[in-house]
Structure 1
Amino acid sequence: MIEIVGLDAIGEVGEGADLAALLADALRAKHIELRDGDVLVVTQKIVSKAEGRMIALDAVLPDAAAQELAATTRKDPRLVALVQAESSAIVRAVPHVLITRHNTGHVMANAGIDQSNLGPDRDGYALLLPQDPDASAARLHEALGVAIVISDSFGRPWRYGVVNVAIGAAGLPALIDRRGEQDRDGRVLEVTQVALADAVASAAGLATGEGAEGVPAALVRGVHWTAPNNPAAAIVRPPHEDLFR
């Protein structure tokens, strides 16, 4: 049985916070003792806050390229300049839409830069993704001794709405390759790969929410696997395999 428990006793996270200690305290507040099959899903926002990824927009000086792209997308030139700095490629730029390939390889809106739920007195700021989400997950995994997924909200082509996916993972197989196995009828699986970390992140999103819920992490209990561990980077399809460009 899969169980999802939201961790709401964390509070506002500031730069330099000991995130592992905050998460451990939140688990104790719920009287949770970690066991096999547990995965702790931590939202990107509190990881970025703890790692000092908050930027004051007034400190950003957009260049001519940022100004031009901002005119196309009708976005704040300062925000666009940050998006460019965090991205390896622009995938789509039209009014009110800016899709890029983040430096980590993830294709996402605005390079994952967010301005919501930043905390009091943070108007005029923007929050960047962790520089290396898999490394961030590995540090939490080492400190807490539990599988870690760092989640973020992604939109999807051809479908409305956002879902949580894994941008960082440690202590579990983010991607499980089942090619070569057989289904119940004896047919050999030829293309099946399971994005386990994405599935766990999406499940946790039922508890963490997308607005003012104030639940920045969740424990997903009852997840089991036998495949070797790999990071969230394993899920990212490389540009030469892009099926739609």
Structure 2
Amino acid sequence: MAERLEMYALPEFPLIQPGDDICTLITAALERADITLADGDILVIAQKIISKAEGRYAHLNRVEVGTRARTLAERVDKDPRLVQLILDESVEVLRTRPGVVIVEHRRGYVHANAGIDQSNIQSDAKDPRVLLLPEDADASAAALRRSLRQVTGVEVGIIINDSAGRAWRNGTAGFAIGTAGFTPVVDMVGQGDLFGRKLESTSVAVADELAAGASFLMGQAAEGTPVVLVRGARLPVAEVGSESLIRAREYDLFR
């Protein structure tokens, strides 16, 4: 594990439009900050800029609302059009209360309102729009990693992060919805503790830990720093995505 960790929020990152090349924008931001990528660096990317670049907008006035969405919208006091999008992006509704619909997103993670967001996006009051999560955040992370390797010749890891609430805890924290280039969960079973006892069930969600630290630097309002460079994590390269972060349903005590 790392003995020292450094995090840099890349400054002056531009507002993202559909079709923008995130790789080009990141390399330009690194150059402005006088930072050279090194093997083993990890870039944490806010989900929002990936979604924007991929054009993952939905216009509320164009949503066809079904009976189920209308019924649920009355119960949770939300716009029926938004509720329809939440249902479209999900495989199951797990919990509800006024203002919130907790679902299992179709990519597997449990999320409030399917991660659909209205903050920090440009929208016309006459034709309001919202931003959906990436279609496949692991694929987006892997593609960005390949592009950066081609441009820089450097092997980096990628985390696409979002923020969410947690069971039994107040406040939101960053977590990884997509990864590439390293193992997101480190299994420590069998390793000894300070007193020589063998660990029996400990695994560390390193991707989520780094996502949360980066989220602190990114901020949640008007900071405009959606990319954070993490240096010193010393994680081995692996060609895997984020699937191992999702707990199997039979072990999920909150369902």
Q: Give the TM-score normalised by the residue count of structure 1.
A: 0.96
Q: Secondary structure of the residue that 2:158 maps to in structure 1? A: strand
Where does residue 36 of structure 1 map in the other structure? 39
Where does residue 225 of structure 2 map in the other structure? 215
CA contact (8 A) 2:123 2:129 kept: no
Counterpart AA for 1:48 = S
The match for 1:131 among 128, 135, 144 is 135
CA contact (8 A) 1:40 1:147 kept: yes
1:23 equivalent to 2:26? Answer: yes
Counterpart AA for 1:76 = D
For 2:100 and 2:236, the matched residues in 1 are separated by: 40
Where does residue 193 of structure 1 map in the other structure? 203
Q: Comparing 9-18 with 147-156, which one deviates more in the overlay?
A: 9-18
Counterpart AA for 2:8 = V
Structure 1 stretches of 4+ with a deviation exceeding 6 A read: none
* 1:85, distance to aligned residue in structure 2 (A): 0.4
Distance of aligned partners of 1:198 and 1:231 in 2 relative to their CA distance in 1, 3 Å threshold: same
CA contact (8 A) 2:181 2:238 kept: no
Where does residue 101 of structure 1 map in the other structure? 104
CA contact (8 A) 1:12 1:119 kept: no
1:10 equivalent to 2:13? Answer: yes
For 1:8 and 1:125, the matched residues in 2 are separated by: 27
Aligned length: 245
The match for 1:148 among 158, 166, 170 is 158
Q: Give the TM-score normalised by the residue count of structure 2.
A: 0.92
For 1:210 and 1:151, the matched residues in 2 are separated by: 12
Q: Secondary structure of the residue that 2:182 maps to in structure 1? A: coil
Unaligned residue ranges in structure 1 (runs of 5+): none
1:159 equivalent to 2:169? Answer: yes
Distance of aligned partners of 1:188 and 1:229 in 2 relative to their CA distance in 1, 3 Å threshold: farther
* 1:2, distance to aligned residue in structure 2 (A): 1.3
Where does residue 54 of structure 1 map in the other structure? 57
CA contact (8 A) 2:45 2:158 kept: yes
RMSD, matched Cα: 1.5
* 1:15, distance to aligned residue in structure 2 (A): 0.8
Counterpart AA for 1:98 = V
1:79 equivalent to 2:82? Answer: yes
The match for 2:235 among 187, 207, 225 is 225
* 1:150, distance to aligned residue in structure 2 (A): 0.2
CA contact (8 A) 2:183 2:240 kept: yes
Where does residue 244 of structure 1 map in the other structure? 254
Among the aligned pairs, what percent are the same residue? 45
For 2:80 and 2:111, the matched residues in 1 are separated by: 18
